[in-house]
Amino acid sequence: MSDFDPRHQSRHLYDGYDRAPARAMMHAIGFSREDLQKPCILVANTWIETMPCNYHLRRLAEVVKEGIRAAGGTPMEMNTVAISDGVAMGTEGMKASLVSREVIADSIELVGRGHWFDGVVALVGCDKTIPGAALALLRLNVPGLVLYGGSIAPGRLDGKDITIQHVFEAVGAFAAGKIDQRRLEQVEDAACPGAGACGGQYTANTMALGLEFLGLSPVGYNTIPATDPRKEPATREAGRLVMQVLAEGLRPRDVVTRGSLENAIAGVATTGGSTNAVLHLTAMAREAGIPLELADFDRVSKRTPIFASLMPGGEFTAPDLDAAGGTRLVWKRLEDAGLVDGSQRAADGRPWSEHAAEARETTAQRVVAPAGLPFKATGGLVILRGNLAPDGAVVKMAGHERSRHEGPARVFEREEDAMEAVKRNAIRPGDVVVIRYEGPRGGPGMREMLGVTAALVGQGLGDSVALLTDGRFSGATRGLMIGHVAPEAAVGGPIAAVRDGDAIVIDADARSLSVKLSPAELARRMKGWRPPPPRYASGVFAKYAALVSSASEGAVTRALPENARASTLAPLRGANAQRERKGGLRRASAPSARSEPGAAKGRAKSKDERSRRAKTKGRKVSVRGRRVRSR
């Protein structure tokens, strides 16, 4: 029996005679004294009406609260933000996606700390809500769970399953004249039949599986599809489970260890998961205080075969994986091959090996390969380095991508320019499309480039063109596409020196990414390089650009040391000053004498005021009927 106090936090807020005002406020909205004497659980919801991924979470919040109440807790719900990658893709709005990860984490952390919650259940859906919630749990380090709303069901067209990936690729096919408007609309109308996150092993499903392996989500819960009738009973049970882990005092940092992080990397690698997992798992490791480098992803992926044939590199969708046997079956394949540590704890505190023993494989399923007969000998995540990416870059090799490519650079300063070139059919076989100034700071926000990559695939160029960027790629991206190039162009990374026509060499087997330029030529080009002015001089994007780290460090935001603050914020101040000179910004202070005819009169008045104050200093004067001494 644990001696952990399940009200280890909320006692500070609701206990004692001096906390009567706080209790009175809570009585106003229906919470009784008895409710406030129970453990208080924050239900952090990411419901929003801008996408299917999170659309059903409002109902799941009610269900999980039922489970919490039944197990003796008092749930209280909050809502945070969410940005749809699929909807915002290819626009300036996509810059908000990765930024939202930090806002989600910050907002859950703020409510958790401000209201002294004893535990947390986070309901998540679209891509950045999953790692955002996980980061918040690791910061708060109170017992809790992350519950993924589940995958959307696949669409059906011509007797085949399709997903949002097929719509993006249809755009490229339409631009190339391969399909007509009617066919494009058929794909558009069929791809997304209801609530839930994108259906392949894209970023959401990748991170959902990773969080089960990591020990932050209940085993088997995340793979249940969004509209499956099993989802609500499992959600109610998750409400009971959070009360169990609270009673046991099991905290997120107890289950997230170096071993569980490597297990999660193996899970991503064996399912051909999204390269975004590199960013998010690295960020989580930093919140947990655990060293994790890009080299660790490469090492684990290199030894891990691909056992699951999931889109975009494979054949099946996330609901197919659930029907085949789910997360337990994937783990069992890896455990049988000695590639995961079964002693690491799952979200319920039990060793993962116990859950693996409960794996049930559906007869004749084809989603997960038989033991000893993987679809591919090595995992999907490959880390490249070279004179173009001294700090690393990431490429996914989950399908049948060629491992080597050499071709001339086609350089673009932003995603929109590259997309216009694709739509004009201006990209040729053999080209290496370079999209820069799209990194964490330069974007800001490190946009995903699915629109460009899918359009290239749709035009039939997926096997003959490569793309590299200091931005990101969607989990739905396929082909030889290299992202997360670090250092990024905006901070003077070598990618800033590339010019049209330069020969780019990509060699995944050699883990190499380079441009055929001598060190002297690279240095000569960079000598004249100057950072471009920030694209945003105020607001959330400006804050993010000032605080974000490199992609190689997870693109986390962090407090600046005092000595770094001035140099980091100087470009923002310069941009503000430049806009003010151009009339783009108005100062909040009073207008100057040059711009306001009455300014001279104002100055005279100010002078008279100073004289009056000097004369009255030290005297007793009347203020609203009281005699006080003037300052």
Q: pLDDT tens-digit profile of 265-283?
A: 999 999 999 999 999 999 9
Are 406 and 505 in contact by the 8 Å Cβ rule? The answer is yes
Average pLDDT on 572-600 reads 41
**What is the model's pLDDT at position 570?**
54
pLDDT at position 605 is 42
**Average pLDDT value for residue range 323-338:** 98
What is the pLDDT of the chain when averaged over all its residues?
Answer: 90
Instruction: Please give the share of the chain, as a percent, with pLDDT higher than 70.
Output: 88
Range with the lowest mean pLDDT among 15-19, 450-454, 570-574?
Answer: 570-574
pLDDT of residue 477: 75
Residue 93: exposed, middle, or buried by beta-carbon count in 10 A (0-12, 13-18, 19+)? middle
Would residue 371 count as lying in a domain? no
In Å, how far are 156, 189, 227, 326 from 193, measured between CA atoms? 9, 8, 10, 22
Residue 505 reports pLDDT greater than 70: yes
Q: Are 286 and 398 in a shared domain? A: no
Q: What is the pLDDT of residue 254?
A: 97
User: What are the structure tokens assigned to 580, written together?
Assistant: 């003010």
Which pLDDT tens digit goes with each residue over 433-492?
999 999 999 999 999 988 898 889 889 998 999 999 999 987 677 789 999 999 999 999
Q: Please state, in angstroms and rounded to a whole number, the distance separating the CA atoms of residues 438 and 545.
A: 11
Q: Which residue has the higher pLDDT, 480 or 255?
A: 255
Among 510, 527, 544, the domain-final residue is: 527
Q: Is the pLDDT of residue 551 over 60?
A: yes
* Statement to judge: residues 199 and 325 lie in one domain: yes
pLDDT band at 591 (very low <50, low <70, confident <90, very high): very low
Share of the chain above pLDDT 90, in %: 81
pLDDT band (50, 70, 90) for residue 172: confident
| Shared domain check, 273 and 219 | yes
If asked whether residues 301 and 408 sit together in one domain, one would say: no
Q: What is the pLDDT of residues 382-420, one digit of tens each?
A: 999 999 999 999 999 876 668 999 999 999 999 999 999
Domain coverage including residue 168: 154-193
Q: What is the DSSP letter of 72?
A: T
Active-site entry in 84, 97, 107, 474: 474
Last residue of a domain, one of 139, 165, 193: 193
Judge whether 206 lies within some domain: yes
71 and 97 together in one domain: yes
Distinct helix (H) and strand (E) counts, the chain: 24, 16
User: What's the confidence (pLDDT) of residue 239?
Assistant: 98
Q: What is the pLDDT of residue 1?
A: 60
Residues 135 and 95 in one domain: yes
CA 440 – CA 435 distance, rounded (Å) = 13
Same domain assignment for residues 143 and 260: yes
pLDDT at 474: 77
With cut-offs at 50, 70 and 90, classify the pLDDT of residue 602.
very low
Looking at per-residue pLDDT, the higher value among 583 and 50 belongs to 50
Work out the average pLDDT over 203-212.
Answer: 97
Query: In which band, very low, low, confident or very high, does the pLDDT at 567 lie, cut at 50, 70 and 90?
Result: low
pLDDT of residue 574: 53
* Rounded mean pLDDT, 423-437: 96
The answer to whether position 91 is within a domain reads yes
> What's the mean pLDDT in 329-353?
98
CB atoms under 10 Å from CB of 544, counted, come to 25
Whether 589 maps to a domain, the answer reads no
Q: What is the structure's pLDDT at 273?
A: 94
Tell me, yes or no, if 474 is annotated catalytic: yes
* 224 plus 200 within the same structural domain: yes
Both 213 and 166 in a single domain?
no
Residues 6+ positions from 7 with CB-CB distance below 8 Å: 37, 38, 39, 40, 118
Question: Do 186 and 200 lie in a common domain?
Answer: no
Residues 457 and 337 in one domain: no
DSSP 211: H
Give me the pLDDT at residue 573, please: 52
Q: Is 314 contained in some domain?
A: yes
Euclidean distance between CA atoms 203 and 269, whole angstroms: 13
| 162-176, 455-469, 579-593: the lowest-pLDDT one | 579-593
Judge if 145 and 182 occupy the same domain.
Answer: no
The per-residue pLDDT for 564 is 54
* Residue 333 is assigned to a structural domain of this protein: yes
Q: How many residues does the chain have?
A: 631
pLDDT score of 560: 65
What's the token pair of residue 24? 């009175």
Mean pLDDT of 228-247: 98
Helices 276-288, 95-114: inter-axial angle, 10-degree rounding: 30
Confidence of residue 520 (pLDDT cuts 50, 70, 90): very high
With respect to residue 563, please indicate whether it lies within any of the assigned structural domains. Answer: no
Q: What CATH number corresponds to the domain at position 469?
A: 3.50.30.80
Of the candidate ranges 118-132, 208-222, 595-609, the one whose mean pLDDT is the lowest: 595-609
CA–CA separation, 624 and 618 (whole Å):
18
How many independent structural domains does the chain possess?
Answer: 3
Residue 410 lies in a domain: yes
pLDDT at position 313 is 87
pLDDT tens per residue, range 279-330: 999 999 999 999 999 999 999 999 999 999 999 889 999 999 999 999 999 9
| 319 Cβ contact partners less than 8 Å away, ≥ 6 residues apart | 151, 153, 154, 199, 225, 228
Question: Of the candidates 478, 506, 527, which is a domain's last residue?
Answer: 527
